[in-house]
């Protein structure tokens, strides 16, 4: 590893290694090679053999792009109050803090006093709280604030605590914001609550890495800036002079891939644009010609472009009630908006795709004035998208849905004294548990928005099939295939909207009747599931008859149920034992030999579905 210990060739580790291995070739690996007078990576290890830089990592989707936003203009400071950096400041502040006596004799003290001015810290706290809360509305995640000194870390914490008292908690296991720093008993009293030993810091690190933990904001000076991976960290606020490899290592904290995170954001309070540009030029193979760091204005431009596409697709549709109406009126807009989208060629995939792109761009610049201006419209587009996509679709889990959809839409619809549901918004009474009653199906048939009726029925049937898949494998597969064929015909325009509604209603009634098949045959739910596995092939029914298959199903349930253990599905020996048992029963009753292997396989799959209940 091209560690700093490799540069001491006089009497350090590097010298000892070379004395011990005089004929060795040394190859260095590092993410941030350095070029200083007393430490030069290429001078020690030779020229680059291979380079994999930030830009390639972004192109390969190994990391997400880093966006840059300057917030200096947002701080209402006079010119005399704004810190200005030069090379000497960077050299002085790049290392550890010097002793207090020495600081008073250097420019460091003057810069630290300006950066840590009480008014400036207060303004940064106010801007940070506002900015990060807007970021959280668009995308859940965590933030790291990097300050110039431990004093500034503590004072910024106190200002944030005044603005958001509920974020503070002295308990390490609770609280939203923490300062992580080292110190000693000689440090000021007000610093002591933030000075922790290594085990306590390790516990905080564990909390911060957990995406679900409410610990969302950490304030640091030097700690956690290198080798500390937190994929859910999406925003870094810089208020410390940094440059070169130190700056690159720091901003790389926010570029880790995580769920639907579109990028990491670096917010600059100190004017580090030039230093960032120089660092990127040094640490990209293209010499900084690529785009490993992107100005947030580009995200704003992308957001506005996608916003215009959404507006075009909803041209002629009035959604003004989204911001002015009651919760019921707002929710009532959604079925009509769905219908408007469905009437367009490939409307659903085009609209859901462009809203996804819009949401990602919005998440990157949610605190920008342009984003704030169109925020309510974006919330409406996201709400429409949310009702268009499958609620239990195969592609993404609920946890992976866009944070913006969950948070913005819930805020837009929330009402303290009124509970609204999607069925009432569509003009339907809330269905009973089965969702397959004649009364409910008749209501769906008479809905004003036919495309919405078709989509609603399809969603409900998918959920019903998914529920049955946990109990009856063959039945759920059969209904799933019937639904797939019907929807394919509809989406390919082979049948009209009214026809698909009738087809889905017919399928719903078949599903309802299937529930009663077990009772009609005198079989329990488990027994009918095994009966279906045996009767899946029509020739088996013709050869053996219904009554004989019922006898086999009952015997299979009784025998297999006695034999399964909690881990039988993962132990091949246990699976083999059950497999032999099933084959013997089928052979004993004369089940057709050419159908036995497939029936055995299906019975085992069915047993796996039911074994959790049986084993318990």
Q: How many CB atoms lie within 10 A of CB 540?
A: 21
What is the tens place of the pLDDT at every residue in 142-151? 999 999 999 9
What is the C-alpha to C-alpha distance for residues 291 and 305, in angstroms, rounded to an integer? 20
What ranges in 416-524 are assigned the alpha helix state H?
422-425, 438-445, 450-468, 473-491, 497-515, 517-521
Q: Which H or E run contains 69?
A: strand 66-70
What is the C-alpha to C-alpha distance for residues 601 and 173, in angstroms, rounded to an integer? 50
What is the C-alpha to C-alpha distance for residues 115 and 119, in angstroms, rounded to an integer? 10
What is the C-alpha to C-alpha distance for residues 91 and 251, in angstroms, rounded to an integer? 19
Tokens 């881990």 correspond to: 567
Q: How many CB atoms lie within 10 A of CB 209?
A: 16
Task: Enumerate residues 6+ apart whose C-beta is below 8 A from 515.
Answer: 434
What is the C-alpha to C-alpha distance for residues 348 and 338, in angstroms, rounded to an integer? 8
What is the C-alpha to C-alpha distance for residues 482 and 589, in angstroms, rounded to an integer? 32
Which stretch of 258-272, 291-305, 527-541 has the lowest confidence by average pLDDT?
291-305
pLDDT over 70 (residue 524)? yes
Strands 264-268 and 233-239: parallel
pTM (global) more than 0.75: no
Topology of the domain comprising 60-290:
Rossmann fold (3.40.50)
What is the C-alpha to C-alpha distance for residues 407 and 488, in angstroms, rounded to an integer? 33
DSSP code, position 194: G
pLDDT over 50 (residue 414)? no
What is the tens place of the pLDDT at every residue in 250-263? 888 999 999 888 88
What is the tens place of the pLDDT at every residue in 310-352? 999 999 999 999 888 877 788 788 888 988 998 898 889 999 9
What is the tens place of the pLDDT at every residue in 29-39? 988 787 765 56
* Residues 69 and 267: beta-carbon distance below 8 Å: yes
What is the tens place of the pLDDT at every residue in 369-406? 898 899 889 989 988 888 787 443 334 333 333 333 33
């Amino acid at each position: 590893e091209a560690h700093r210990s490799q540069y001491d060739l006089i009497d350090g580790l590097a010298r000892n290694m070379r004395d011990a291995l005089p004929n060795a070739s040394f190859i260095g690996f590092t993410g941030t090679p350095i070029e200083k007078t007393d430490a030069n990576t290429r001078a020690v290890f030779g020229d680059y053999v291979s380079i994999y830089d930030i830009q390639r990592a972004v192109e390969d989707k190994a990391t997400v792009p880093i966006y840059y936003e300057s917030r200096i203009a947002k701080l209402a400071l006079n010119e005399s109050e704004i810190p200005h950096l030069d090379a000497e400041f960077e050299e002085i502040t790049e290392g550890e803090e010097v002793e207090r006596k020495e600081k008073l004799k250097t420019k460091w003290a003057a810069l630290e006093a300006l950066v840590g001015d009480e008014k400036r810290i207060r303004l940064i706290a106010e801007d940070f709280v506002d900015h990060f809360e807007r970021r959280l509305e668009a995308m859940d995640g965590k933030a790291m604030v990097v300050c110039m000194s431990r004093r500034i870390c503590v004072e910024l914490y106190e200002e944030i605590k005044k603005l958001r008292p509920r974020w503070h908690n002295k308990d390490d296991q609770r609280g939203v914001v923490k300062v992580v720093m080292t110190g000693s008993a000689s440090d000021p009293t007000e610093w002591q609550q933030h000075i922790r030993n290594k085990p306590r810091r390790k516990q905080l690190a564990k909390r911060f890495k957990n995406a679900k933990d409410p610990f969302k904001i950490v304030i640091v000076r030097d700690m956690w800036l290198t080798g500390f991976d937190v994929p859910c960290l999406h925003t870094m606020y810089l208020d410390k002079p940094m440059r070169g490899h130190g700056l690159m290592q720091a901003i790389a904290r926010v570029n880790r891939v995580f769920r639907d995170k579109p990028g990491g954001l670096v917010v600059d309070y100190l004017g580090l644009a030039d230093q960032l540009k120089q660092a990127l030029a040094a640490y990209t193979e293209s010499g900084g010609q690529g785009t490993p760091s992107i100005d947030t204005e580009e995200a704003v431009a992308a957001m506005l472009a996608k916003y215009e596409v959404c507006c075009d697709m909803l041209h002629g549709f009035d959604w003004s009630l989204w911001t002015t109406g009651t919760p019921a009126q707002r929710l009532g807009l959604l079925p009509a908006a769905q219908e408007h989208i469905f009437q367009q060629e490939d409307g659903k995939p085009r609209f859901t795709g462009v809203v996804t792109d819009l949401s990602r761009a919005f998440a990157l610049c949610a605190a920008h004035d342009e984003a704030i201006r169109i925020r309510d419209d974006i919330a409406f587009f996201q709400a429409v998208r949310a009702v268009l996509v499958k609620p239990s679709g195969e592609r993404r889990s609920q946890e992976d849905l866009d944070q913006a959809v969950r948070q913005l839409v819930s805020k837009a619809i929330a009402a303290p004294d009124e509970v609204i549901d999607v069925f009432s918004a569509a003009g339907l009474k809330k269905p009973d548990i089965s969702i397959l009653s004649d009364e409910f199906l008749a209501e769906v048939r008479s809905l004003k928005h036919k495309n919405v009726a078709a989509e609603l029925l399809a969603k409900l049937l998918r959920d019903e099939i998914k529920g049955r898949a946990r109990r009856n494998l063959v039945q759920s597969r059969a209904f799933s295939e019937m639904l797939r064929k019907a929807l394919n015909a509809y989406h390919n325009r082979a049948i009209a909207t009214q026809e698909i509604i009738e087809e889905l209603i017919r399928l719903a009634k078949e599903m309802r009747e299937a529930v009663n098949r077990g009772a009609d045959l005198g079989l329990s739910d488990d027994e009918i599931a095994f009966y279906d596995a045996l009767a899946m092939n029509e020739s088996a029914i013709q050869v053996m008859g219904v009554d004989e298959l019922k006898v086999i199903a009952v015997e299979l349930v009784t025998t297999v149920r006695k034999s399964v253990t909690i881990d039988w599905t993962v132990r091949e020996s246990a699976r083999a034992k059950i497999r032999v048992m099933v084959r013997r029963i089928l052979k004993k009753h004369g089940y057709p030999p050419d159908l036995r292997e497939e029936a055995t396989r299906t019975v085992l799959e069915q047993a796996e579905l039911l074994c959790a209940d049986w084993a318990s």
